[in-house]
Amino acid sequence: MYPLRLRNFRLQAGITCRIRSLGSNPRIADRLAQMGILPGIEVTVLRIGPMGNPLELAVGGSQAIALRASETDTLDCELVSLPLSLARSDGQTYRIRALQGGQRYQEKLAAAGLRPGVLLQVVSNRPWRLQLLPNNACVQLGQGEAEKMIIEPVDSTDA
């Protein structure tokens, strides 16, 4: 997977990560724990303020909170999912987790073989060329379509 800190991602709405630890600063760790941010919980970036500060996060899918960038920098996170628009063309295998567009978007992607659960690899970015697995079909998407597709990295043993 991607054992990275939250600050290592190019932050964009839609990134979800699982908290592994609250960091080494006890004051910040206590404050985060009081707000319900605990190891094992998933947080999703909802919005980012001007100049990257503050960040609005959905905690556990039910509560939205705003944190300073200095507080999120202490979090040790494991990437759970991200928009396709942030994926690299590095040979990593991904699984489609969700399609966040409307009915026409869903129908268009379903006709191309793209639906939740499908495995793919990113061949190139802008425009996004995807190779669907295991049949190796190739699909091309634009920026708006890539931002609405949420994918999760898959270990090669799970693929």
Domain ranges of the chain: 3-80, 87-154
CATH architecture of 3-80: Roll (2.30)
Residue in this structure with the two tokens 């190139």, named with its chain if needed: 124
pLDDT tens per residue across span 6-40: 544 556 778 898 999 998 899 999 999 998 899 99
Instruction: Say what percent of the chain tops pLDDT 70.
Output: 91
pTM score:
0.80
Please indicate whether the domains covering 3-80 and 87-154 agree at the CATH topology level. Answer: yes
37-54 as b/e: b if 16+ CB within 10 A: beeeebbbbeeeeeeeeb
Q: Which fold has domain 87-154?
A: SH3 type barrels. (2.30.30)
pLDDT tens per residue across span 90-107: 889 999 999 998 999 999
